[in-house]
Amino acid sequence: MSEHEGTFCLVVHSHLPWLAHHGSWPVGEEWLYQAWAHSYLPVMDLLRRFADEGRRDVLTLGVTPVLAAQLDDPYCLRAFHEWLGHWQLRARQASSLWGHDPLLRELGATEYQRSTKAIEEFETRWRHGFSPILRSFVDNGTVELLGGPLAHPFQPLLDERVRSFALRGGLDDTALRIGRRPEGIWAPECGYEPGMEHGYAAAGVRRFMVDGPSLRGDTSAARTVGSSDVVCFGRDLEVTYRVWSPKAGYPGHAAYRDFHTWDHRVGLKPSRVTGKTVEPADKAPYDPALAADTLGLHVKDFVDTVVTRLRALRARHGRESLVVAAYDTELFGHWWHEGPAWLEGVLRALPEAGVRVTTLRGALEAGHLGAPVDLPASSWGSGKDWRVWDGEQVADMVQANRELQARLLAGRSAGTARDAVRDQAVREAMLALSSDWAFMVTKDSAADYARRRARVHTERFDTLDSLAREGRTERAAELAAEFRAQDDPFGQLDARGLEQD
């Protein structure tokens, strides 16, 4: 290795459940369009600027198949375009309503400028969806792409045959969109049970992410798992939690724009955090200059944290070491307004501080591979175990999913012709098995919506399955077409693939 302080990998995981045609506000399509406007657009713009500068291996980008499906979907593209136009109108109205306060008047003008730029960006670069944009960054080496299973299921709770089908289907979906299969995946929720590496190897997966405690805190190098050649990377929590943790992190600073406080007349956020115990009505107006000053301090603090960590690891291990920080992409812009600017600042400042910035693949090429490891059952959720997705609060959902999988597998047929009804039934089952629903229930985040979504997809599967068993093919075809008009991710999904497992 050449002389560096060490190596830093930023991994960002882009995921939302299937939201199209399933409600709007407060949970539903609005969630998708806010994340699209405030995270996906600015992060892709950042990557484009790095690509234009000739920067390669900037970061490792996870994109789940179910999110990619929405960002390519014609209905979602049209609806998001309309959403951007409404954002522009709301910003114009805000400029009038907020005219009494100089800071808010300026914020309204800035919102109008941002919405106008977003419309221009969308109309010129996103007309054909997300995949052409993503493919360009993969082809020119700006990012390393991580894929994943079809609808982001919690894999340890799946029957191995369903798990294999979902993973192969997800990798195939990504290959269809960008022209190549990812070598790495973001395992949904970093969920792992011993032995899963063999399924990964069979599917062509060479590397995946786990949380730091799975490696007992020693995340200074990647490691092969068990007797396989599949490599895991651990998230360094000492560094990662500097930004975002269950209790603290930069986004909660008083100077930053407050995510939770709205002016409901215009659907915009006018306030800064001000203080954790300050009521929304008493929060101070957002001040971009104050936020920018704070952002500069937080960029420096993070770079100092990474350098200090790398030096400590070098002293402990006697070699250059690795730090992997991993976050949801939606943190940058959607949850944390200043996040994209912080991201750019850090990615520019770290190389200047002597840190090698690269991808997971690049870290292996730089020699950061340690001894094999046997991983425990784990996740990146509360307790670092499975309690979020397999706990008491969601025991009924876990049982329902187990029974759904049994019916799914029992319904397999030996037919050779592709069956549109069976394809849609399997598609509904995949959506029902999304990890998001249990997460939202356990965390009491739109729990009613989550339970309803899991139930709706399960009921649709059962309806199609029952009609097919009864030989009512005409009615089954009618309903399958009706359901497909709402839920049509993974158009290439072929239910016959379950026969391979």
Residues acting as catalytic residues: 189, 328
φ, ψ of residue 370 in degrees (nearest 5): -100, -165
Which residues 6+ apart lie within 8 Å of 452 measured at CB? none
Q: What's the burial of 455, exposed, middle or buried (CB within 10 Å: 0-12/13-18/19+)?
A: middle
User: Which DSSP state fits 371?
Assistant: E
User: Which DSSP state fits 64?
Assistant: -
**Rounded distance between C-alpha atoms, residue 129 and residue 143, angstroms:** 18
Long-range contacts of 26-31 (CB under 8 A, 24+ apart): 26/446, 27/446, 27/449, 28/449, 29/76, 29/79
Encoded tokens for 420: 């549109």
3-state secondary structure at position 362: helix
**Rounded distance between C-alpha atoms, residue 6 and residue 324, angstroms:** 11
Short-list 58, 27, 28, 29, CA closest to 43: 58
CB 74 within 8 A of CB 178: no
User: Which DSSP state fits 454?
Assistant: H
CB 497 within 8 A of CB 172: no
CB 422 within 8 A of CB 411: yes
Return the ∠ at Cα 16 (arms to 14 and 18), rounded to 5°: 140
Which residues 6+ apart lie within 8 Å of 174 measured at CB? 63, 65, 68, 145, 147, 181, 182
In angstroms, how far is the first alpha carbon of the chain from the final one? 43
Which residues 6+ apart lie within 8 Å of 147 measured at CB? 62, 63, 64, 65, 170, 171, 173, 174, 181, 182, 184, 185, 186
Give 423's strand partners. Answer: none
- 46 Rama sector, left if φ>0, alpha if ψ -120 to 50, beta otherwise: alpha
CB 199 within 8 A of CB 164: yes
Q: Using the Cα atoms of residue 203, residue 207, residue 210 and residue 216 in order, give the sign of their dihedral.
A: positive
Encoded tokens for 492: 């290439």
